Amino acid sequence: MIRLHEFNTRWWGAPVGIVDDGAFFALPPDERKLALAPYRWAEFRSNLKSAPPFSAMHNAGFLLADTQLQFRIGLKSGSGTCREELEVRFASETPFELEDRELAPFEHERYGRLPHGQERTNARFGAWGRQLIREHPETCIEVLAKGEPQGWFLSQPSSRGLNLALAMLCRSAQISGFLLYEKGLASYAARGHRIGWASFSVTNTAVHNIYAKLGAHFVEPTGIWMWIADQEEAAADRGAEPVVSRTV
């Protein structure tokens, strides 16, 4: 019901859990406490319509941290207002580096709500971005204007279409987020991709407006609940060994 989130554990530097079965919240309180004991914090995500009772999650110490809007979008090349002077480089053809310090702040991510999480958020998305570039260089792009990086669109193929996993502006970008997204999607379309999908925080109205303007179709929202260990207890080594899994 609860297991180690390997990626978040590496990023945070301490065990982080993920609950993948809503039945966890029906367990007796002592069993839940024992299961959570190895972790510094944990997450649970669920379609809002089928989520366990909010009161049960609240009683277990899980509070709603974010709502993610999922969408699908048709990818079209050669349309819209893409600026001609923008250059696109695919990592499979022209490798590029991704540095945490170059990324614009992630103001709408739930991880910023963790203790000292805001200053660590860029490191998480930088690490995820570098992983995507290593594993899927053919669908990871850098967008440049006059030879200077403006941002990145890092994606991965899936059975549902192209997962538009991570789009990021450069801290020193001179273009708008709209132009980055429009250019990125058009570049994927030019390579033969037809459908893209992803999700983003409901608090990120700028991205919502961009995808709406580009013709996205929004589908069911997903709630994400977070539990954070008592800070005094978290400072001590609690000894229990969590179960390792490969959740991304």
Burial 203-230 (b: 16+ CB within 10 A, else e): ebeebbebbeebebeeeeebbbbbbbbe
Predicted local distance difference test score (pLDDT) of residue 116 = 87
Please tell me the distance from the alpha carbon of residue 161 to that of residue 76, in angstroms, as a whole number: 14
Please tell me the distance from the alpha carbon of residue 56 to that of residue 25, in angstroms, as a whole number: 6
Please tell me the distance from the alpha carbon of residue 120 to that of residue 12, in angstroms, as a whole number: 8
Q: What domains lie within the chain, and their CATH numbers?
A: 2-67+223-234 (no CATH), 71-221 (3.40.630.30)
E-strand ranges in the chain read 2-4, 16-19, 41-47, 63-74, 86-90, 140-145, 148-158, 161-169, 195-201, 217-228
Q: Are 8 and 32 in contact (CB under 8 A)?
A: no
Backbone angles phi, psi at 10, to 5 degrees: -65, -40
DSSP annotation of 243: P
Helix/strand/coil percent split, the chain, to 5: 35, 30, 35
Predicted local distance difference test score (pLDDT) of residue 247 = 38
Q: Strand pairing of 195-201 and 161-169?
A: parallel
* Two tokens, residue 232: 């005094």
pLDDT in tens, 55-79: 999 999 999 999 999 999 999 876 5
Residues of the chain with pLDDT under 50: 232, 234-248
Enter the pTM of the model: 0.88
Predicted local distance difference test score (pLDDT) of residue 243 = 36
pLDDT in tens, 145-167: 999 999 999 999 999 999 999 99
CB atoms closer than 10 angstroms to residue 79: 12
Residue 133 CA: distances (Å) to CA of 65, 90, 128, 137, 166: 28, 10, 9, 5, 11
